[in-house]
Structure 1
Amino acid sequence: MTRLTPRLLAPAVIALAAAICLLAAYLAVGQLESRMAKAVRAALSDAGIAWAEATPDGMLMRLTGTAPDEAARFRALSAAGAVIDASHVLDEINVEPPNPLAAPRFSVELLRNASGISVIGLVPAATDRDRLARDLGRLARNLPVTDMLESATAPVPEGWEAALAFGITALGRFDSAKVSITPGEVSVSAIAPSPRDRDRIARELRAAAPAGLTPVLEISAPRPMIAPFTLRFVLEGGTARFDACAADTAEAVTLIAEAARRAGMTGALDCPLGLGVPAPGWGEAAAHGIDALAEIGGGTLAFSDADVTLVAAAGTERARFDKAVATLRSALPAPFELTANLPDPAGTEGGNASAGPRDFVATLSPEGKVQLRGRVPDALVQSAAESYARARFGLNNVRSATRLDPDLPEGWPVRVLAGLEVLSQLRNGTVTVQADLVRLSGVTMDDTAQARVARLLADRLGEGQNFEIDITYVEPQETPDGRPTPEACVARIGEILAQEKITFAPGSTRIEGAAVRVVDRIAEVLRSCPNAEIEIGGHTDSQGRAALNERLSQERAEAVLTALMARRVLTSNLTARGYGPSQPIADNGTEAGREANRRIEFRLVEAAPEAEANENGQEDEADGQD
């Protein structure tokens, strides 16, 4: 047996001890690495970080994985650093590449009021800002345009240009509005002059909206003052209709509509809300009146403020009439007062039947010529009727062939003059005055004419009078495709006004008589020039105080603008301005000169110089003096 010598034993023992120490150290490090990894993984798990992996490397800890963003990477490093010294953490984390920036949200808000136009929002850099400024400048006319737009370089969204153009068009329809524009949607919050204008403009804007664009319209309108507050319901031959209708509340409209349906009326009810109702029980009173007329079976029911007139159809049974009238009298709330009339069977009332019917007839031709025939009570009324007709229809447009009949019933002159007044509201037509009836028929291009005529007759004829209205509304013709230039439009209007002026009664702003047909002709011209910037100027003579004349001229110019709007003319490009006596065209020292100075003129609005410079040779839309 070989023995280790002491000299060899000592190194062997040392080597064995070193191996044992090395093994122990290796085992201790591995155990430490395991504990460190376990602690870091627990910290990551507690922080909700599932994408990171902790791998020990001696006294170091490697963090790997792909973080969704830099913030998530930082949270993982912080979680590991809370367990071990941060200097021992190796950051080998990748970060996902960032998503490309989302396209900016382009939008524009247009605000318009009496102070001018403001525009704010974000538009694509490719948007033609100069053209936008010109368009808004034309709408603002002499008022300021405040531009608070910003731009961004990004692709132009689909539908943006169409939405922007439509939004500007919508803004031009109102004097007070807010228009919000985004690609594919235009929201309009605005105030219209009247409920009728509100409904018409809303229809036109929806029809003009480009394909794929959604118009959101919130258009309000102040309630008009209606005087007298009028309702007229006719039941004839089983057919029911309203010649005029007004109501003070939505509940009153419902009551009236339900009563009209019970009486046999079909179709929608056009009964605008207005101010001026004589009593809160208007809807209830009107419903009771319609029910009474339906019970009688035929005739007319008319409300003029608190005066109620019920006229039964000729031949109505007396007992049936009396019963319905008694029921209505007891049902009408205060302060409504009823006048009921059962006409005698049709026939000649007094006089010599062979001498012709006892009536007065005035006929208005489309050319503005008026013929008067029939009966008047005396020469004074005959002269008054002829003078009144010439004042309404023009000095040389009236021909009279009336005859005297002193036995005509009381109130005949008032009925004749009322008939001529309402005839002047039509383009052409006929009015017939009889002992117990005033009948008006004809044609108009103003869809408000029938209600206005009903109010006039109710007001002029007074309580207990009977009248019939048969007015046909003619839709204005479509705009021709081959549109004339703005200059040609204004020249044509000048020719019309040279033939016949728009005249007003002294101190009045009401358009009637021959002026109705002049406005009709001008409306036809303007419908072919929807983009011409035109000013309607009102002028007076020098008689009276200058301030009053200036105000009167402004009101008359605005009356012409309103009349054109009623004839379906787009008025966003029209302005009304009163000049008073400041721009005479003749000598105010003569009656002929003063007559010439009392006038309405149409002229193109002068384009701003900077707008002309930016047109780059394109044809200007406006020309002339302001």
Structure 2
Amino acid sequence: MRLSSIAYIAVTFAVGAILCLIAAVFAVNVIQDNSERGVRQALDRAELHWAEVQANGLQVFLTGTAPTEAIRFQALSTAGKVVDAARIIDRMEVTESKRIRPPRFSIEILRNDSGISLIGLVPAATDREELAGDLADLSDGGAVTDLLESADYPVPDGWEPAVDYAVGALEKLRRAKVSVSANQVVITAISDSVAAKRQLESDLSRAAPLGLRLALEISAPRPVITPFTLRFLIEDGTARFDACSADSDEARDRILRAAARAGVQGKTSCTVGLGVPSPNWAVAAEQAIGALATLGGGSVTFADADISLVAAEGTEQGLFDRTVGELENSLPDVFALHAVLPEPEDKAQGGPPEFVATLSPEGLLQLRGRVSDELNRVAAESFARARFGSDRIYVGARLDDSLPRDWPVRVLAGLEALSKLSNGAVIVRPDTVRVNGNTGNQDASAEISRLLVEKLGEAERFEIDVTYQEKLDPIASIPTPEECETEIAAILAARKINFEPGSATPDSEAGGIIDDIAEILKLCGGIRMEIGGHTDSQGREVMNQQLSQARAQAVLNALRERRVLTANITAKGYGEEQPIADNETEEGREANRRIEFRLIRPEPTVEEETTLESLEQPAVDIPDDEASSEEGSTDE
């Protein structure tokens, strides 16, 4: 009986345990299904469709690939609002982030009289201390302010040559902004004059290393003209300017149109500068030029507000009086007119006394004619030695105490005018000073005219016949890179650089050829060129390439030995790749074994195509129809 009770109890417990187990399993499955369904619905509502949900018991697994880390965290947070966060197992992945592009490295270098400042972002590998030290050497004691930031990214190609070039360029620039980036430099600067602007542009362009994109934005201030001068002449029916000044582009154009109506042919120019004595300068100049055209010959000279009009000899007295009277009444306030009608020269009395100074192309100066006294002769000789060199003076002038009192001033003014020419002569007479010769300065005529007006007065007569020659211009005479390439090609077409058989050693005759090429390259400056070595097709291709490279390098080394600047010259061997003749013949193979010099032309950039308003005043060409239509017009 007792055994039966025990068995019954055991069976009861077993059945209960089984029923509990079944209930627990059922409850877990319900929770699992509800959890998975609830999380799935919550993710769908949040539009996180990429996430996958799978429940295993009480645990909820999230899988899938999230676009970003932030969206992955959003999925976790959304699931955590439905089930306990402790039950969520995160097995989600995140799309691999795209590699972050390196930043654009650049430096803005600002230089003025107070110092140098650096602003920008540079690679961490840049030696900022060395850069600041190099700039400190240029600052003449001024402060170097380093405001650079750095980033740990690789140094881009072309960065270091651009920085080195920018530092070197600042040696020539007192006030400038230099923008540097990889393979590119933009220079914005102010020069002291138009001539200095031209020189800077030439020097900076030639110093640029290979592969560098260079943009130059150099401006020059308007010159201060003192005295403010204009000199217009009509001689033998030909009209021209010896000097022309204007205070604005509009005034310049107005003056040049008046000159065209007076008979000036073709193109001419007028310097726009500062220092005008009156805002009515163009009106006065226009009226005076018109009056001279009415007289038919002579000269009109402005020195600030003083005007001197000298009619041609033989001008009718009535025409002179009427024209001068009309001009005096129409001139704007401030301007004062002095008019002269020269009396015919009495040839019976012989020629006037004169002082003559002649400057030869070699620089020899001869002084002849008359001086007023010993003091005048010593002063003239001392002045000439100071201006032309003490060992290049020959003095043959005699004393004449009957000369006019202002003779010493006229002699010294004439010598100073002559000093502005490369060669020529000056003739000083009591009634006139005549200057003629050649120069490499395009503004020499205007400078001489301004000088004589200042020294002698606007009422004095002087004649200037100066010819500009480009070969005498120290800047314009520099050959262009294309001209250099052509000259070297002409040398190599007539004489060939040969080498010892099978070697890179130039033969005995090659030295003279390289000497001539070196002289051309010294005149051309640091232009970008490639020395190309070429061979025939005999032998192995690899060996030919190596031989041609060695020969091109040997020519480059020979130029260095001749003190040629070769920083922008490279050597490259082409082997047999570029034949110019048939390699099947001996003559063709001989032609293919050669050295060539090729100009490297940089690709143009947007910056290089940007043009700034030039302060070199443009020439104005007045069309015939425009000039004729303005005949007789009067500007109030």
TM-score range, shorter chain: 0.5 to 0.7
1:40 aligns with 2:32: no
Could you tell me which residue of structure 1 aligns to residue 395 of structure 2? Answer: 399
| Distance across 1 between alignment mates of 2:310 and 2:51 | 94
The 5 Å alignment of 1:504-523 reads none
Q: Per-residue deviation at 1:82?
A: 4.5
Could you tell me which residue of structure 1 aligns to residue 348 of structure 2? Answer: 352
The 8 Å contact of residues 255 and 282 in structure 2, kept in 1 or not, is answered as yes
Q: Secondary structure of the residue that 1:99 maps to in structure 2?
A: coil
Q: Deviations over 1:122-178 (max 9, x none)?
A: 545666778756754553456665666676664442332332233123311222333
Q: Secondary structure of the residue that 1:226 maps to in structure 2?
A: coil
Q: Per-residue deviation at 1:104?
A: 4.0
Q: Secondary structure of the residue that 2:245 maps to in structure 1?
A: coil
The 8 Å contact of residues 373 and 403 in structure 1, kept in 2 or not, is answered as no
Q: Per-residue deviation at 1:305?
A: 0.8
Could you tell me which residue of structure 1 aligns to residue 179 of structure 2? Answer: 180
Structure 1 residues 89 and 28, CA, compared in 2 at 3 Å: closer, same or farther? closer
2:473 corresponds, among 470, 475, 481, to 475
The 5 Å alignment of 1:141-220 reads 154-202=153-201, 204-206=203-205, 208-210=207-209, 213-220=212-219
Structure 1: give runs of 5+ residues left out of the alignment: 1-14, 482-526, 532-626
Structure 1 residues 240 and 126, CA, compared in 2 at 3 Å: closer, same or farther? farther
Structure 1 residues 368 and 225, CA, compared in 2 at 3 Å: closer, same or farther? same
The 5 Å alignment of 1:121-520 reads 121-124=120-123, 132=131, 135-136=134-135, 138-140=137-139, 154-202=153-201, 204-206=203-205, 208-210=207-209, 213-236=212-235, 241-263=240-262, 264=264, 266-267=266-267, 269-274=269-274, 276-294=275-293, 296=295, 298-313=297-312, 325-343=324-342, 349-350=345-346, 352=348, 355-356=350-351, 358-366=353-361, 369-374=364-369, 381-394=372-385, 397-402=393-398, 404=400, 406=402, 414-434=409-429, 436-444=431-439, 449-473=444-468, 474-476=472-474, 478=478
Q: Secondary structure of the residue that 1:334 maps to in structure 2?
A: coil
The 8 Å contact of residues 371 and 400 in structure 1, kept in 2 or not, is answered as yes
Structure 1 residues 93 and 182, CA, compared in 2 at 3 Å: closer, same or farther? same
Q: Deviations over 1:446-483 (max 9, x none)?
A: 5654433222200122132222223345212659x9xx
| Distance across 2 between alignment mates of 1:360 and 1:167 | 53
After superposition, the CA RMSD in angstroms is 4.6
| Distance across 1 between alignment mates of 2:146 and 2:66 | 44
Q: Secondary structure of the residue that 2:172 maps to in structure 1?
A: coil
Q: TM-score, normalised by structure 2?
A: 0.59
Structure 1 residues 73 and 402, CA, compared in 2 at 3 Å: closer, same or farther? same
Structure 1 residues 21 and 183, CA, compared in 2 at 3 Å: closer, same or farther? closer
Q: Per-residue deviation at 1:326?
A: 4.7
Q: Which moved more, 1:159-168 or 1:260-269?
A: 260-269
Structure 1 residues 117 and 187, CA, compared in 2 at 3 Å: closer, same or farther? same
Q: Which moved more, 1:432-441 or 1:27-36?
A: 27-36
| Distance across 2 between alignment mates of 1:461 and 1:413 | 11
The 8 Å contact of residues 110 and 176 in structure 2, kept in 1 or not, is answered as yes
Structure 1 residues 467 and 55, CA, compared in 2 at 3 Å: closer, same or farther? farther
| Distance across 2 between alignment mates of 1:459 and 1:20 | 122
Q: Secondary structure of the residue that 1:458 maps to in structure 2?
A: helix
Structure 1 residues 152 and 350, CA, compared in 2 at 3 Å: closer, same or farther? same
The 8 Å contact of residues 42 and 78 in structure 2, kept in 1 or not, is answered as no
1:465 partner amino acid: E
Q: Deviations over 1:342-377 (max 9, x none)?
A: 556xx7x23536x4455432223355544344456x
2:410 partner amino acid: R
2:273 partner amino acid: L
| Distance across 1 between alignment mates of 2:323 and 2:84 | 104
2:396 partner amino acid: S
Q: Secondary structure of the residue that 1:352 maps to in structure 2?
A: helix
Percent identity between the two aligned chains: 47
**Number of paired residues?**
459
| Distance across 2 between alignment mates of 1:146 and 1:254 | 46
The 8 Å contact of residues 247 and 277 in structure 1, kept in 2 or not, is answered as yes
Structure 1 residues 95 and 356, CA, compared in 2 at 3 Å: closer, same or farther? same
Could you tell me which residue of structure 1 aligns to residue 512 of structure 2? Answer: none
Could you tell me which residue of structure 2 aligns to residue 494 of structure 1? Answer: none
Q: Secondary structure of the residue that 2:380 maps to in structure 1?
A: helix
1:430 partner amino acid: A
Could you tell me which residue of structure 1 aligns to residue 72 of structure 2? Answer: 73
Q: Deviations over 1:172-226 (max 9, x none)?
A: 1222333221123323343432354345424543555456544444545555443
Task: With a CA cutoff of 8 Å and minimum separation of 6, indicate the structure with the bigger relative contact order.
Answer: 2
Q: Deviations over 1:477-518 (max 9, x none)?
A: 659x9xxxxxxxxxxxxxxxxxxxxxxxxxxxxxxxxxxxxx
Q: Per-residue deviation at 1:391?
A: 1.7
Structure 1 residues 152 and 38, CA, compared in 2 at 3 Å: closer, same or farther? closer
2:40 partner amino acid: A
Q: Per-residue deviation at 1:273?
A: 1.7
| Distance across 2 between alignment mates of 1:52 and 1:245 | 84
| Distance across 1 between alignment mates of 2:366 and 2:268 | 37
Q: Secondary structure of the residue that 2:309 maps to in structure 1?
A: strand
The 8 Å contact of residues 116 and 144 in structure 2, kept in 1 or not, is answered as yes
| Distance across 2 between alignment mates of 1:100 and 1:400 | 86
1:273 partner amino acid: G
The 8 Å contact of residues 384 and 415 in structure 2, kept in 1 or not, is answered as no
| Distance across 2 between alignment mates of 1:444 and 1:22 | 113
Q: Per-residue deviation at 1:390?
A: 1.0
Could you tell me which residue of structure 1 aligns to residue 514 of structure 2? Answer: none
| Distance across 1 between alignment mates of 2:256 and 2:140 | 44
Q: Per-residue deviation at 1:62?
A: 4.5
